Amino acid sequence: MKGSPATVNAVVTSDLAVPRRALAIGAHPDDIEFGSGATLAKWSAAGCEVHLLVLTDGSKGTWDPSHDRADLVATREREQRDAAARLGAAEVHFARQIDGELDSGLAVRAEVCRTIRSTRPEVVLGHDPWKRYRIHPDHRHAGLLALEGIVAARDPLFFTDQLLAAHRPDVALLFEPDEIDHVEVVAERHVVARIDALLAHVSQWESTMHIAGAGPDDFVAAQRAECVAAGALLGAPFGESFKRIAEL
Ligand SMILES: [Zn+2]
């Protein structure tokens, strides 16, 4: 769907211990749900405090060039909060960068660092910035920002003006990975929560989810199939696949 098919590492690990706190970082409203919605629903239900950081304002997310930009941004934030609630997430943080113009420079890195230091997650989830043949620049920059934000957050001499204690997460999980080496096994109810959260992004039904007049059946089936394929890597009914970075 997005970029080249992932290769699967010979050794695939599964199921981290449920973190006390997790932070998922996405380029646009809906990216986090596509990449890790079922995993976040599973962790929330098990008591994890889940935070979402959405980096851009989603203001390019329409095929209608006359759509009022401020209205679209407000709609997408509302949809993102609704989606987060459907996953059981605790809070959504918005960095409100302009959609399509995300830059993995120092200013946004500081913002990511600040969010990591203030939410203190054991696990950070984000885009794989090295996914081959993916052409949307925001996804690449968002992936770099998540990882470079971890480096800044863990080292106390970065962004000392923030007056926040340094924080080193234990693990990063990269979603829609170029190389799969980790699967989170999920139950059907977590797949349902992921799809339910995706469908909260009603403004994206046409342009992203290709849901036309016939309704969401094909989209729902494709989402289920993706979770079935990930689970099958470990002989489980459903899962989500990641690249795991354990040395942070
Ligand atoms: Zn996106």
Pairing of the two strands 171-175 and 239-245 = antiparallel
CA–centroid distance, residue 88 to ligand 1 (Å): 21
Residue 122 belongs to domain with CATH number: 3.40.50.10320
Residue 64, domain member (yes or no): yes
CA–centroid distance, residue 136 to ligand 1 (Å): 8
| pLDDT band (50, 70, 90) for residue 2 | low
What is the per-residue pLDDT across 197-235, written as a single tens digit (0 to 9) for each? 999 999 999 888 888 777 899 999 999 999 999 999 999
Residue 4, domain member (yes or no): no
CA–centroid distance, residue 163 to ligand 1 (Å): 32
Residue 11, domain member (yes or no): no
CA 237/CA 139 separation, integer angstroms: 29
CA–centroid distance, residue 157 to ligand 1 (Å): 32
CA–centroid distance, residue 197 to ligand 1 (Å): 15
CA–centroid distance, residue 160 to ligand 1 (Å): 31
Residue 210, domain member (yes or no): yes
Residue 149, domain member (yes or no): yes
Residue 133 lies in domain: 19-245
Residue 89, domain member (yes or no): yes
Sign of CA dihedral 243, 16, 116, 139: positive
What is the per-residue pLDDT across 94-136, written as a single tens digit (0 to 9) for each? 999 999 999 999 999 999 999 999 999 999 999 999 999 999 9
CA–centroid distance, residue 45 to ligand 1 (Å): 25
Residue 208, domain member (yes or no): yes
Residue 13, domain member (yes or no): no
CA 35/CA 10 separation, integer angstroms: 22
- Which is nearest to 184 in space by CA: 22, 27, 1? 22
CA–centroid distance, residue 79 to ligand 1 (Å): 15
CA–centroid distance, residue 212 to ligand 1 (Å): 20
Neighbours of ion ligand 1 (CB under 5 A): 27-28, 31
pTM above 0.85, yes or no: yes
CA–centroid distance, residue 34 to ligand 1 (Å): 9
Q: Can you give the pLDDT at residue 18?
A: 98
Number of domains in the chain: 1
What token pair was written down for 97? Answer: 């960068």
CA–centroid distance, residue 201 to ligand 1 (Å): 12
What is the per-residue pLDDT across 45-102, written as a single tens digit (0 to 9) for each? 999 999 999 999 999 988 888 888 899 999 999 999 999 999 999 999 999 999 999 9
- Which is nearest to 60 in space by CA: 137, 128, 130? 137
CA–centroid distance, residue 143 to ligand 1 (Å): 11
Contact yes or no for 23/114 (Cβ under 8 A): no
